[in-house]
A and B are shown apart, each in its own frame.
Chain A
């Protein structure tokens, strides 16, 4: 008997996880970040509950510093698939002047992402939240469970995680505690792109190369959205480039690339020798950065 191709094995595992959460929790929600992983996760949810609709809302934590193209894509995509979309912003912090230029990226992230996320989960009364994080993205994520337990303050304790065996997930929580669920845990960046190609899944056009107006700053290409300030001597220039991962415009650099189609992106990945989150400023704030953020409640 033939064995199942690897993308179908991953798909089967993810669908099992999505259904398991839906069956065992009262109010699941799916964190939707507009990126490629979210696109894949939404498609898996469509498949898991077909021919029914996706039985939970999508939640986007909008820092207001996302790229305009992401927001347009988000709104069209949600409408097209008929999903319920909740957009949450930490308006209080923004009213008090929170922005990456004034606070620095670390504090900005804590207020506009982590705090906003915890508030949104609490306000919605959600007891389980799907996230598109993958274990291959970053070192501290390699040890993340598929069901990641968070205490009443939304915090993660890497030393006190539940053992996870077979496909048997422990869904028991007390009131106020939550579970973050990562259905794409075992997918790699390559798997995600291959699946997007195989399934013809729509993604934000910023992933595809074209000439973009950017500032060349060291090894990164910085976008000029949201009134980013030029440093002395800097000049915007047109560079053939694309985004490899999407976040806030201030913190996400583009990469030089000619890959303007899915097959070219996949070819490019094969030759890549640099990791996907390298252009994400927030991962490099300090040693063990992502782990610290996760302990505080970041995804």
Chain B
């Protein structure tokens, strides 16, 4: 059983609380005594299940992000239940920041409203890969397929440019339960399954993490003179004893000695595990440093282009020093220019000299020391930051790094390093037997793992492929050393060249 985090967003009365109440109720995430307190005139009002604080009971609206939990035999779910009211962009961004998926609710009677577009846009800005569009209150429009179709058409046109990996649509009635947990007989024209079935099967963020290794050092554990462990949560990728590591910002390299743990040393660890690493060399490493894959290091820069969601009553002040908390480092930073503000209703870029509560802009940020980062769209953990007001201590903004300012000033010649970054691995020439299918099998296996690979029959062809940053499988006659696909793959990731060794058998392919 794994974990899926999703956020919900909806307008004040499109039935979001009822939908969550329904999911909790039907999966037994709500208890009898809680149900008793929301029973009115013998009828259960599901929306009251999720209605927490006194202030919001008084106003009748949800005013803050609330977290809910339920589980099915397949998955545990964490819902970030975010308010839909216009002035609470900040809460929606908060909820979406950790979500694998977002549910956007649309009232079937009202169609795609500006709020629906806003929710989808914020979800895309915060990098939520998947969206489930729940077209609610279908019971009030006689489960009309035409209405469903027109909403789907309108939303998909609009969301195309938002870059989601997947958008799925569900005609539901949260009140009656249609297509929420089980497919409904009242929508015979719909064969997309239920919303819950989708939530149970959609890939989560923790899956398929093939990104390069990153671990910001959080804390140094040094109980005795013989032990020095670097503790942190792996931001991306996988690590094993024997792996080469690059330490930033020092630029020194070392090897992983062990992955120490309370339950015994680990053979392997991957994101998002919290681990303690020991290394082979005596190098001074402290909190805020980053341990990374030497062949795919992060960017290092102190002038960045970032998206900002402003979250404080006090507007942004250009040039004023704020504190930036990024991975495990906290340093000074200031916004030197607002490139443009984004109108979240129209998605238009608007020239602007200021940034206020709940507004979003793309800005140029300068940090006191260079930041070690990846672009947010390729790595949420190393591309995200918050800004803190050093006087009020308030969290004033959430930021997503888009790239290095002035990236166009690059040298003319494409370097080997740039090719490695592009392809995600080192170039290599691997000798394979000329006869038989083995070369093709190997090519397929490497290709499927994301390796840029091609077959060469002559040495000079292989060299050209290697110069282009690719892996060349050179078919030759002669003796071969047996190597598994895993060994070859790992040697492309680790920072050493594959010697001109050979390959004889298909084992491991």
Give the interface of A toward B (CB within 8 A). Answer: 1-6, 8-13, 15-16, 19-20, 22-23, 46-53, 135-136, 139-140, 142-143, 158-159, 161-170, 172-174, 185-186, 188, 190-191, 272-275, 278, 288, 291
Bound state CA distance, A1 and B272, in angstroms? 13
Does B97 have its Cβ within 8 Å of any Cβ on chain A?
yes
Given known pairs A143-B53, A191-B76, the reply for A163 and B395 (CB within 8 Å) is yes
In the complex, residue of chain B having the shortest beta-carbon distance to the beta carbon of A134: B69
Residues of the B chain whose Cβ atoms lie less than 8 Å from the Cβ of A8: 273
Give the interface of B toward A (CB within 8 A). Answer: 1-3, 28, 31-34, 50-55, 57, 63-69, 71, 75-76, 78, 81, 90-91, 93-94, 97-98, 204, 206-210, 218-219, 221-223, 227, 229, 231-233, 238, 260-263, 270, 272-274, 276, 287, 311, 323, 325-326, 328, 380-381, 384-386, 388, 390, 393-395, 398
Q: How far is the CB of A142 from chain B (nearest CB, A)?
A: 4
Q: How far is the CB of B369 from chain A (nearest CB, A)?
A: 18
Bound state CA distance, A136 and B66, in angstroms? 10
Bound state CA distance, A10 and B233, in angstroms? 12
Residues of the A chain whose Cβ atoms lie less than 8 Å from the Cβ of B270: 1, 4
Given known pairs A143-B65, A185-B67, the reply for A50 and B94 (CB within 8 Å) is no
Residues of the A chain whose Cβ atoms lie less than 8 Å from the Cβ of B233: 12, 15-16, 167
Bound state CA distance, A2 and B223, in angstroms? 33
Given known pairs A16-B218, A51-B260, A168-B325, the reply for A6 and B3 (CB within 8 Å) is yes
Q: Is the CB of B223 within 8 A of A51?
A: yes
Q: How far is the CB of A244 from chain B (nearest CB, A)?
A: 11
Q: How far is the CB of B124 from chain A (nearest CB, A)?
A: 16
Q: Is the CB of B76 within 8 A of A173?
A: no
Q: Is the CB of B272 within 8 A of A9?
A: yes
Residues of the A chain whose Cβ atoms lie less than 8 Å from the Cβ of B50: 142
A-B pairs with beta carbons under 8 A, tally: 175
For the complex of A and B, list the 7 residue pairs with the smallest distance between their C-beta atoms, beginning with the closest.
A52-B223, A275-B31, A15-B274, A172-B393, A6-B3, A165-B97, A142-B66
Q: Is the CB of B52 within 8 A of A275?
A: no
Question: Most chain-A Cβ atoms within 10 A of its Cβ — which of B52, B91, B273?
Answer: B52
Q: How far is the CB of B479 from chain A (nearest CB, A)?
A: 35
Chain B interface, >50% SS class? mixed
Q: How far is the CB of B98 from chain A (nearest CB, A)?
A: 6
Q: Is the CB of A19 within 8 A of B394?
A: no
User: Of A11, A159, A165, which contacts B274 at CB under 8 A?
Assistant: A11
Given known pairs A3-B2, A136-B69, the reply for A274 and B274 (CB within 8 Å) is no
User: Of A23, A49, A139, A169, which contacts B52 at CB under 8 A?
Assistant: A139
User: Of B33, B204, B229, B385, which contacts A275 at CB under 8 A?
Assistant: B33
Bound state CA distance, A190 and B65, in angstroms? 23
Given known pairs A1-B208, A1-B209, A1-B210, the reply for A163 and B1 (CB within 8 Å) is no
Bound state CA distance, A182 and B89, in angstroms? 25
Q: How far is the CB of A193 from chain B (nearest CB, A)?
A: 13
Residues of the A chain whose Cβ atoms lie less than 8 Å from the Cβ of B3: 4, 6, 9-10
Residues of the B chain whose Cβ atoms lie less than 8 Å from the Cβ of A16: 218, 233, 274
In the complex, residue of chain A having the shortest beta-carbon distance to the beta carbon of B324: A168
Bound state CA distance, A182 and B117, in angstroms? 34
User: Of A1, A46, A53, A161, which contacts B223 at CB under 8 A?
Assistant: A53
Q: How far is the CB of A203 from chain B (nearest CB, A)?
A: 18
Q: Is the CB of A3 within 8 A of B204?
A: yes
Q: Is the CB of B262 within 8 A of A50?
A: yes
Given known pairs A142-B68, A165-B398, the reply for A4 and B206 (CB within 8 Å) is yes
User: Of B75, B209, B274, B384, which contacts A48 at CB under 8 A?
Assistant: B274
Q: Is the CB of B2 within 8 A of A6?
A: yes
Q: Is the CB of B393 within 8 A of A143?
A: no
Residues of the B chain whose Cβ atoms lie less than 8 Å from the Cβ of A278: 31, 33
Q: Is the CB of A172 within 8 A of B388?
A: yes
**Additional 18 contacts, C-beta under 8 A, given A52-B222, A165-B94:** A5-B2, A6-B2, A13-B272, A16-B233, A19-B231, A48-B231, A52-B221, A53-B223, A143-B66, A159-B55, A163-B93, A165-B97, A166-B381, A167-B381, A169-B325, A188-B76, A273-B28, A274-B33
Bound state CA distance, A136 and B78, in angstroms? 10
In the complex, residue of chain A having the shortest beta-carbon distance to the beta carbon of B385: A168
Bound state CA distance, A163 and B328, in angstroms? 18
Q: Is the CB of B54 within 8 A of A288?
A: yes
Given known pairs A12-B274, A188-B71, the reply for A166 and B33 (CB within 8 Å) is no
Q: Is the CB of A186 within 8 A of B67?
A: yes
Q: Is the CB of A170 within 8 A of B395?
A: yes
Given known pairs A19-B218, A165-B386, A166-B381, the reply for A273 and B69 (CB within 8 Å) is no
Residues of the B chain whose Cβ atoms lie less than 8 Å from the Cβ of A273: 28, 31-32
Residues of the A chain whose Cβ atoms lie less than 8 Å from the Cβ of B209: 1
In the complex, residue of chain B having the shortest beta-carbon distance to the beta carbon of A164: B94
User: Of B55, B81, B97, B328, which contacts A158 at CB under 8 A?
Assistant: B55
Q: How far is the CB of A220 from chain B (nearest CB, A)?
A: 12
Bound state CA distance, A135 and B66, in angstroms? 9
Bound state CA distance, A158 and B2, in angstroms? 31
In the complex, residue of chain A having the shortest beta-carbon distance to the beta carbon of B203: A3
Question: Most chain-B Cβ atoms within 10 A of its Cβ — which of A13, A15, A158, A166?
Answer: A166
Q: How far is the CB of A135 from chain B (nearest CB, A)?
A: 5
Q: How far is the CB of A69 from chain B (nearest CB, A)?
A: 26
Given known pairs A163-B311, A191-B76, the reply for A4 and B53 (CB within 8 Å) is no
In the complex, residue of chain A having the shortest beta-carbon distance to the beta carbon of B28: A273
In the complex, residue of chain A having the shortest beta-carbon distance to the beta carbon of B79: A142
Q: How far is the CB of B26 from chain A (nearest CB, A)?
A: 13
Residues of the A chain whose Cβ atoms lie less than 8 Å from the Cβ of B65: 143
Bound state CA distance, A26 and B63, in angstroms? 33
Given known pairs A23-B328, A142-B66, the reply for A162 and B394 (CB within 8 Å) is yes
In the complex, residue of chain A having the shortest beta-carbon distance to the beta carbon of B394: A162
Residues of the A chain whose Cβ atoms lie less than 8 Å from the Cβ of B398: 163, 165
Residues of the A chain whose Cβ atoms lie less than 8 Å from the Cβ of B51: 139
Q: List 20 A-B contacts (CB under 8 A).
A: A1-B207, A6-B75, A9-B272, A16-B233, A16-B274, A47-B263, A50-B262, A50-B276, A51-B229, A51-B260, A158-B55, A162-B395, A163-B93, A166-B381, A167-B98, A167-B381, A172-B388, A188-B69, A191-B76, A274-B31
User: Of A11, A23, A166, A272, which contacts B287 at CB under 8 A?
Assistant: A23
Question: Most chain-A Cβ atoms within 10 A of its Cβ — which of B32, B33, B388?
Answer: B33
User: Of B67, B71, B90, B260, which contacts A163 at CB under 8 A?
Assistant: B90
Residues of the A chain whose Cβ atoms lie less than 8 Å from the Cβ of B381: 166-167
Residues of the A chain whose Cβ atoms lie less than 8 Å from the Cβ of B276: 50
Given known pairs A3-B206, A172-B388, A275-B33, the reply for A161 and B64 (CB within 8 Å) is yes
Q: Is the CB of A140 within 8 A of B53?
A: yes
Q: Is the CB of A135 within 8 A of B67?
A: yes
Residues of the A chain whose Cβ atoms lie less than 8 Å from the Cβ of B263: 47
Q: Is the CB of A166 within 8 A of B98?
A: yes
Q: How far is the CB of A72 from chain B (nearest CB, A)?
A: 26
Q: How far is the CB of B415 from chain A (nearest CB, A)?
A: 30
Q: How far is the CB of B448 from chain A (nearest CB, A)?
A: 13
In the complex, residue of chain B having the shortest beta-carbon distance to the beta carbon of A147: B395
Q: How far is the CB of A3 from chain B (nearest CB, A)?
A: 4
